[in-house]
Amino acid sequence: MKAMRFCKQICVFILIVLQSVPGQSKPEILDVTIDVKQNGIFIKFNTSVPVKLHNITGWSAESGWFYITILNAMSDSVAITNSAYRFPITNIQTANSGESTQIALKLDREVESFEFYRSDAPPEILLSLRFPVDEIFVHAEEGISKQPSKFEYRKKKSQQYKRTRTGLYLLGSSLTIAGAMDMDNKNEMSWELPAGLLILAGTYFFDIVLYPKLHKK
């Protein structure tokens, strides 16, 4: 009897000790670092403890959202939703539940493939998202077409200068002719003649002397 009572006391003591020992806390996704490349996106999730790869899943929806679900984990929603990101990522959302946490990325490009990696020191989840090759070329060509070359820029500036120079020569000639005709009629010099000659002389001096010096290669 004493032995049975002693065994019961030992069992109760063991249960009390086991209940008093705290269970292992869930891994927490602390923050997100995003690096956008031309052919895809590389995302780093910093975690409180290492996370096993078989607890991580991801999929892409037709709405443009890419979802990452991590079992037996939780996310710091404030830190993650306030993480710095740029195009083609346009939004980040998180949702915690009793069994898992989900992080959603809104993308402006189609995801062709993805792959998860992990790191124990420091504890991290690494996600690689890749875009279709043809889409990369399209965006690259759009970027090139939006940036005029130096030759096109110089050509445009030269055409603008030639139009301005021609306009000044026409204005100076018109004022000079009008002033000369008015002088013949009234036998006195009007303001058009000196103004026209001044415009012609100034335009000629700038065109022949100053402009070539200012635009030496």
- Please indicate, yes or no, if residue 16 is contained in any of the structural domains: no
pLDDT band at residue 84 under the 50/70/90 scheme: confident
Within 10 Å of residue 106's Cβ, how many Cβ atoms?
16
- Please indicate, yes or no, if residue 19 is contained in any of the structural domains: no
Verify that 118 and 177 share a domain, yes or no: no
pLDDT at position 208 is 81
Verify that 197 and 185 share a domain, yes or no: yes
37: pLDDT strictly greater than 60: yes
Taking the C-alpha atoms of residue 116 and residue 214, their distance in angstroms, rounded to an integer, is 57
pLDDT at position 20 is 41
Strand 28-36 and strand 74-75: pairing? parallel
Verify that 89 and 161 share a domain, yes or no: no
Greater confidence (156 vs 191) lies with 191
Omega prior to 88 cis, within 30 of 0: yes
Verify that 56 and 139 share a domain, yes or no: yes
- Please indicate, yes or no, if residue 21 is contained in any of the structural domains: no
What residues make up the domain containing 69?
28-144
Domains held by the chain: number:
2
Give counts: helices (H), strands (E), the chain.
6, 9
Taking the C-alpha atoms of residue 48 and residue 29, their distance in angstroms, rounded to an integer, is 7
Q: Give the model confidence (pLDDT) of 51-69 as tens digits.
A: 988 999 999 888 889 999 9
- Please indicate, yes or no, if residue 1 is contained in any of the structural domains: no
Verify that 134 and 187 share a domain, yes or no: no
Within 10 Å of residue 29's Cβ, how many Cβ atoms?
24
pLDDT at position 12 is 43
DSSP assignment of 128-192 equals EEE--HHHHHHHHHHHHHTS--HHHHHHHHHHHHHHHHHHHHHHHHHHHHHHHHHHHHHSS--TH
Greater confidence (58 vs 12) lies with 58
Taking the C-alpha atoms of residue 94 and residue 55, their distance in angstroms, rounded to an integer, is 17
pLDDT at position 154 is 62
- Please indicate, yes or no, if residue 7 is contained in any of the structural domains: no
Verify that 162 and 138 share a domain, yes or no: no
Of 104, 123, 144, the last residue of a domain is 144
- Please indicate, yes or no, if residue 14 is contained in any of the structural domains: no
Q: Give the model confidence (pLDDT) of 108-155 as tens digits.
A: 888 888 999 988 888 999 999 998 865 444 444 444 344 444 555 565
Of 88, 113, 144, the last residue of a domain is 144
Verify that 120 and 157 share a domain, yes or no: no
Verify that 75 and 90 share a domain, yes or no: yes
User: Across all residues in the chain, what is the average pLDDT?
Assistant: 76
Verify that 114 and 32 share a domain, yes or no: yes
- Which of these ranges, 21-25, 55-59, 167-171, has the smallest mean pLDDT? 21-25
